Amino acid sequence: MKITGLMIVFLLGAFAVPAQTNQGWPTCRGPVRVFPGRSTVNLTPLFNWWAHQPLVITNVPVGAGTSTNTNSLATRPLAGWYRVTGTKVGVYGASWVVNAILYTSPTSATNARIILNHPPAVEEQQFNNLEAQLTDLDQRLADTRGQYEVDTNAEAQAHALVETYRRSLSKVASDGVFVNTRTQQAKHNAAALALNQMDQLEAARRQVEDQLRTIPSDNGVYQVDWFAVLQGRSKQGVPIFDLGLVSAGP
């Protein structure tokens, strides 16, 4: 596939490294990766090393094999693998173009625009589906809450009419009490049903939020956050990384 001049500019454009935020998803996940040709890589040694490193970020160039930090990259296993975080900004065939922050350790990071092979498209779709569910639940909650308020107000109005008719000496007082008592009970039952639906919707919303917290995101936008290997080649000067296929095997 050819890249147009506009695409080259797009790929090589500079961007700022965003501030780090708290996350609810694990940094080290999917340790077993499978590549075309059935080759398999187990990242468990890297993950074990990563978990014991400090968290203060400095800058190092992409591809650096060592660092001046006290946390030396020379002792780091699987040196070709980086933690790749960032935002998808385009596609290149089946791959993604990502504005990325590349970590050689939790203390060493640099930013670059990259091409990511075997991108986490399934995870992105899961995130988008959950976001759509959350939007739907929010709308249903708002509608049900509105109906609850309508029914509660109607119940209160019917109750007031019942009391008015009971104090009345009118010939239709008994009929008024009967009709409005039935209305009061019906609106009470409707409000109770709406309240129960609200409880169910809020429980469903909490479940969706719990699932969303396990997927990388920033302000409602899916974010890449996976370990990927630098392939040692590029397209028009843009480095290519490969996430591989995440395997459930040992």
Going by C-beta distance under 8 Å and a sequence separation of 6 or more, which residues neighbour residue 228? 81, 82, 84, 116, 241, 242, 243, 244
pLDDT at 18 over 60: no
- Residue 37's pLDDT is 84
- Residue 80's pLDDT is 95
Dihedral sign for Cα 21, 26, 31, 90, please: negative
Strand partners, 224: 86
∠ CA(81), CA(82), CA(87), 5° rounding? 140
Choice between 1 and 240, residue whose per-residue pLDDT is larger = 240
Mean pLDDT to the nearest integer, 57-76: 54
Strand partners, 98: 88, 114
Q: How confident is the model at residue 2 (pLDDT cuts 50, 70, 90)?
A: very low
The pTM for the full model equals 0.78
* Rounded Cα distance, 113 and 8, in Å: 11
pLDDT at 98 over 90: yes
Query: Smallest Cα–Cα separation from 120: which of 234, 225, 249?
Result: 225
Mean pLDDT of the chain, nearest integer: 86
List the domains of the chain with CATH numbers: 5-120+218-244 (no CATH), 126-213 (1.10.287)
Q: Which residue has the tokens 């980086």?
A: 82
- Residue 91's pLDDT is 95
Q: pLDDT tens for residues 73-91?
A: 668 999 999 999 999 999 9
Q: pLDDT tens for residues 129-159?
A: 999 999 999 999 999 999 999 999 999 999 9
Q: pLDDT tens for residues 174-191?
A: 999 999 999 999 999 999
- Residue 3's pLDDT is 39
